[in-house]
Amino acid sequence: MDSLAVISGFAVGAIVGMTGVGGGSLMTPLLLGVFRLNPAVAIGTDLWFAAITKSGGSWAHHRHGHVEYRITALLLAGSLPATLVTVAVLHLSGLTAGWSGTLTVTLGIALLLTAVSVAYRRAWHAIGLRLEHWLPERRRAALTVAAGTLLGVLVTLSSIGAGAIGATLLLLLYPRLPAQNIVGTDIAHAVPLTLVAGIGHALLGHVDWGLLAALLVGSLPGIWLGAHLTKSLPERFVRGVLCLSLLGAGVKVLS
């Protein structure tokens, strides 16, 4: 088993454990820059990494009652059809050089959006509170489906967005939800979304299964350690390091 892959999985797992975000947004650039995978294979491999690692978190939030299943269903009503359509387009068109470039650009944009989402998390909450009176229940439900559609396309094309960007959209639409319910609902939505998108990429041959196994071996103890370190490290410091990493990765991918 590749020791570098195990170490990489451990490092990403530790960051996820400390911050709750950053899995896909750090893993995909790592797969591109360090392991030199084709963009499509990097995205497909990371989708499976996210689906598997987030399953445990989703179950834990379910047991604690932190998942708003009505909101999850609305998100999935938009994201799953969008994912299937996006995979079908990739399959029917073939992954030409043009599509490879599209995947790379989408990845870079998603990284920068994730950095902004993490950096201004409190601001999004304040904006959501101001928007509340403009969002009656019917309009909010429609916007939730639209948010799911956006995430479905973004995640399928970049493997990024189901975490920080998804949580930001939920903060804007449901600012009164407790923080743990935002996180739990976001993770509960991310698991089926990344799994369906991952299956689509697997059918196209876009998954490095051996590398995925090594990454998972390292990530599990990394997540455990990160969850414990978060008690001793200032949140502002951890999020600052994460934002700088995301910005650097996004700029590098787009350059």
Task: Render pLDDT for 180-239 as a digit per residue (tens, 0 to 9).
Answer: 888 889 889 989 999 999 999 999 899 999 999 999 999 888 877 876 776 666 666 666
Note the pLDDT of residue 58.
82
**Predicted model pTM:** 0.83
Note the pLDDT of residue 202.
94
Task: Render pLDDT for 33-87 as a digit per residue (tens, 0 to 9).
Answer: 889 898 889 989 999 998 888 887 788 778 888 899 999 999 999 999 999 999 9
User: Could you give the C-alpha distances from 65 to 57, 59, 60, 245, in angstroms and in order?
Assistant: 12, 10, 9, 33
For helices 209-229 and 39-63, the axis angle rounded to 10 degrees is 40
Task: Render pLDDT for 108-155 as a digit per residue (tens, 0 to 9).
Answer: 787 777 777 767 777 877 888 788 878 787 889 999 999 999 999 989
What whole-number distance in Å separates Cα of residue 252 and Cα of residue 255? 5
Note the pLDDT of residue 98.
60
Give me the DSSP letters along 81-146. HHHHHHHHHHHHH---HHHHHHHHHHHHHHHHHHHHHHHTHHHHHHHHHHHGGG--HHHHHHHHHH
Residue with tokens 């916007």: 143
For helices 97-119 and 137-158, the axis angle rounded to 10 degrees is 130
User: Which of the pair, 171 or 210, is modelled with greater confidence?
Assistant: 210
What whole-number distance in Å separates Cα of residue 95 and Cα of residue 43? 13
- C-alpha of 165 from chain center: 7
CA-nearest of 131, 235, 242, 114 to 167 is 114
- C-alpha of 219 from chain center: 16
What whole-number distance in Å separates Cα of residue 14 and Cα of residue 5? 14
What whole-number distance in Å separates Cα of residue 21 and Cα of residue 13? 10
